[in-house]
Amino acid sequence: MTVMTTPEIKIMKLFATSPTGLEPLLVDELESFGADKVRQTRGGVEFFGDLEVAYRACLWSRLAGRILLPVLEEPVADTEQLYTVVNNFDWENHFAPSATMAVDCNLSSAQITHSRYAALKVKDAVVDRFREQCGTRPDIAVQQPDWRLNAWIQRDQLVLSIDLSGDSLHRRGYRTEGGRAPLKENLAAALLLRAGWNELSGDGAPLIDPMCGSGTIVLEAALMAGDCAPGMLRHYFGFLHWQRHDADLWQKLLDEAQQRRSAGLATLPRIVGYDRDPHAIKIAWANAERAGVERCVHFERRDVSRLGDEDDLSVAGLVITNPPYGERLGEKEQLLELYALLGQRLREKFPHWKAAVFTASPELGHELGMRAQRKHTFYNGPLQCQLLHFNIEAEHFFRAPVSAAHGLANVVELSAAAQMFANRLRKNLKRLRRWAKRSGVSCYRVYDADLPDYAVAVDIYEQRVHVQEYQAPATIDERLARRRLREVITLLPELLDVDPEYVYVKTRKRQRGTAQYDRHGQSQELFEVKEDDLRFLVNLGDYLDSGLFLDHRLTRKLLRELAPGRDFLNLFAYTASASVYAAAGGAATTTSVDMSATYCNWAKQNLELNGFSGGLHQVITADCLAWLQQTTHKYGLIFLDPPTFSNSKKMDDCFDVQRDHVDLIRQVCRLPLSVVQATRLALSIYWLTAVLYCLMCVPLKRRRR
């Protein structure tokens, strides 16, 4: 067993976790705290230092996620070996048995494949050790335990660490609510560092954020320029109940930080945040008050069109902002105007200033009308974004300003091909609207890459429109593809008679892993639609799919016809629309199984919306493949709709439908069925096999582009 620390060792090996893209900056930051042998590695930065260095990292790091102290490093091939290794460690010399605890676990390329079970084994080993040595055991606390363990198992090698931070260090303590899609504080700090704010603020340069939202960039700028320790507002750290905690040393560092804060805040430059949303400004002021910098910053409701009109711009400074990402189609189009307007104001009002724009759509930087001098890549959650850096000088401008009064119509001039698209859509609408009314359908596709130049799918969801752009191949000029999409979204509100706010746009491309089911937005906007005599909740903003597969409509009707009197099983149930149809058809019971807690909750809402709830209609959150091996219930009708591919950490193994569909169907066939029930199942499998055959063998024209 390798023990990484002992009471006699003063220099410790430590690890600072970090979001992707922040590691180089974190290396420099840790070295400034006195850390030694600092090395960037996967997921963060490894470094060495004494207890003071560890405390400074917890108190002063603007970039780190957590500060971990590895105490065990040992090979573990299975959970029993994991238990033995952890149980043999002297935890009673680190923490009191009365202190509450928690365990986090992450796995990578390990024989142990279930992270939650591994965390449970670590917890059991620790509490059993305390019970053996002390006669009592610590309790478990999920929220703010007295101490927390972090287990990382990679290629059967365990690294078990005490989490000295206790909670993610990006939680400074001043933000209790954010605006729409707020930045994490450590990401905001990284943007400021890359934009050169440390040097600029030292020279007295001002800072303006014209779209500040809840004020995170502004507040991090104030804390940075004011030499304020970001951890001073926190009252919770993981080392406070550690038996090797040095309270006198910690208090000394707190006193030093308070002195530096008082001196730093007295000499702050002008730091301002604007936003058009009054609610966001209200939140920003509340955050500033909790951060103790409400007298050092200024927030004001102001539109980008007024940027620079009433500001003192005599001293050049930094304009830095994180514009909206445009989850809806109407918002996407508004971004064209927004970026053009922002570029116009910067060019006209802020000569010789620096600008930094953080965007998930770097191509929109072209609309600013200035050449970027540098670019840095960061990740805002799952989104890859770029920080674009500009020196606002005339020699970097490449077009005249675009007046906001011109509007979108002048940004996008419709081509003859766009008129052909409009004509095709009108013809489709004339035919499909009559069919939809006659069939009792309010959600249907009106265009699916009918014309080679416009590779989009357009779906109507009652008074909303869902647009999916099929990703263009590398042979298609990117600017041409963007222009065609802008033409489509310019035409749609008028052609379909919908509010642009209720038009949503996404790009459908080849997905990797579970990306198809990743969250794309944060609107959490569920609204009700009708199909036949049933009702369903859909969400067009947050996921690639809406929650109701339109191409499954005929299959759902078939299930309704087959369901009377049968026990119905829906595997990979998604939002359980198939279960709703089966229940409406008179199924005796329905059981819907899916791995996602989000979709299971959505499924329950769909069932309840149609009056199907209680013990006869179950929704189970579980890995379908594992659940199949455990269930002994008899089902008269089974519907399989597996994903193309899944490698969720909740699964013991990955699933590939082309490789595994035969084994999956065989597992279903092993369920105990009567002769009549088996006949029903055979029909279901026939339909599934036919669908799989079509998916694998028939080339789709939309994927050709």
DSSP string, 102-150: EEEEEEES-S---HHHHHHHHHHHHHHHHHHHHSS-PPB-SSS-SEEEE
* Rg of the chain (C-alpha set): 29
Containing 39, the helix (H) or strand (E) segment is: strand 36-41
Amino acid (one-letter) located at 61 = S
| Least-confidence region, from 174-183, 265-274, 640-649, 681-690 | 681-690
Mark out the alpha helices in 457-614 (DSSP H runs): 478-496, 553-562, 577-584, 597-609
Among 91-100, 170-179, 307-316, 693-702, the minimum mean pLDDT is found in 693-702
- Between 110-114, 274-278, 606-610, 675-679, the lowest mean confidence (pLDDT) is in 675-679
Q: How far is CA 269 from the centre of its chain?
A: 34
For β-strands 207-209 and 318-321, DSSP reports them as: parallel
As a whole number of angstroms, the distance between CA 694 and CA 705 comes to: 19
Among 236, 231, 223, 305, residue whose Cα is nearest residue 271: 223
Residue range 544-562: average pLDDT?
A: 90
Neighbours of 98 (CB within 10 A): 13
Identify whether the C-beta of residue 106 lies closer than 8 Å to the C-beta of residue 63.
no
Contact call for residues 57 and 14 (beta carbons, < 8 A): yes
- Which residue type, as a one-letter code, is found at position 44? G
* Sheet arrangement for strand 443-448: 443-448, 456-461, 464-470, 503-508
More confident residue, 354 or 503: 354
pLDDT at 93 over 50: yes
Helix or strand holding residue 254 (H, E) = helix 247-265
- What pLDDT was estimated at residue 523? 45
Average pLDDT over residues 520-549: 80
- DSSP 8-state secondary structure symbol assigned to residue 400: P
- How much is the average pLDDT of 464-480? 81
- Please check the confidence at residue 5 and state whether its pLDDT lies above 60: no
3-state SS, residue 10: coil
Ranking 110-114, 186-190, 683-687 by mean pLDDT, the lowest is: 683-687
**Candidate ranges 62-71, 375-384, 642-651, 683-692; pick with highest mean pLDDT:** 62-71
Query: Which range is least confidently modeled, 303-307, 387-391, 688-692?
Result: 688-692
> Which is it for strands 617-621 and 589-594: parallel, antiparallel or unpaired?
parallel
For the cut 90, the answer to whether the pLDDT of residue 30 exceeds it is yes
Q: What domains are there in the chain, each with its CATH number?
A: 2-163 (3.30.2130.30), 185-230+263-411 (3.40.50.150), 416-509 (3.30.750.80), 540-697 (3.40.50.150)
The 10s digit of each residue's pLDDT in 306-328 is 999 988 899 999 999 999 876 54
Q: How many helices (H) and strands (E) does the chain have?
A: 19, 27
Is 90 exceeded by the pLDDT of residue 570?
yes
For residue 75, what are the β-bridge partners? 157
- Confidence label for 402 from pLDDT (cuts 50, 70 and 90): very low
Cα dihedral: 283, 285, 289, 295 (round 10)? 170
Question: For residue 85, which of 117, 128, 114 has the smallest C-alpha distance?
Answer: 128
pLDDT score of 633 more than 90: no
The torsion angles phi and psi of 614, rounded to 5 degrees, stand at: 95, -170
| Residue among 140, 182, 186 at smallest CA distance from 165 | 186
User: How many other β-carbons are positioned within 10 Å of the β-carbon of residue 324?
Assistant: 17
**Spatial CA neighbour of 440 closest among 552, 538, 553:** 553
On the question of pLDDT at 178 being above 80, the answer is no
Give me the percent of the chain exceeding a pLDDT of 90.
60
User: Ramachandran region of residue 326, left (φ > 0), alpha (ψ -120 to 50) or beta?
Assistant: left
What was the pLDDT predicted at 184? 93
Q: Is 0.85 topped by the overall pTM?
A: no
Per-residue pLDDT for 624 more than 80?
A: yes
Task: Output the six-digit token pair for 434.
Answer: 């009559």
Q: 301: which DSSP letter?
A: E
State mean pLDDT over 103-125: 92
User: According to the model, what pLDDT value does residue 293 have?
Assistant: 96
pLDDT band (50, 70, 90) for residue 611: very high
Average pLDDT, the chain: 85
Number of Cβ within a 10 Å radius of residue 626:
14
Which one has a higher pLDDT value, 187 or 439? 187
Q: Residue 65: its pLDDT value, please?
A: 95
Q: Pick the most confident of 374-378, 467-471, 515-519.
A: 374-378
Q: Kindly report which listed range (86-90, 658-662, 681-685) carries the lowest average pLDDT score.
A: 681-685
Comparing CA positions, the residue from 515, 509, 507 lying closest to residue 646 is 515
Sign, CA torsion 483/485/489/492? positive
pLDDT value for 7: 42
Select from 523, 484, 470, 481 the least CA-distant residue to 501.
523
pLDDT-derived band at 684 (thresholds 50, 70, 90) equals: low
At residue 673, does pLDDT exceed 60?
A: no
Find the length of the chain. 705
Q: Look up residue 638 and give its two tokens.
A: 């089974």
Where residue 667 falls among pLDDT bands split at 50, 70, 90? Answer: confident
Beta bridge partners of 617: 590
User: Where do we find the tokens 């109407």?
Assistant: 330
pLDDT given for residue 500 in this prediction: 74
Among 429, 327, 301, 323, which Cα is nearest to 367's?
Answer: 323
Predicted confidence (pLDDT) at residue 59 exceeds the cutoff of 50: yes
Q: In the chain, what percentage of residues exceed pLDDT 70?
A: 85
Buried/exposed code over 410-437 (b: 16+ C-beta within 10 A; e: otherwise) = eebeeeeebeebbeebeebbeebeeebe
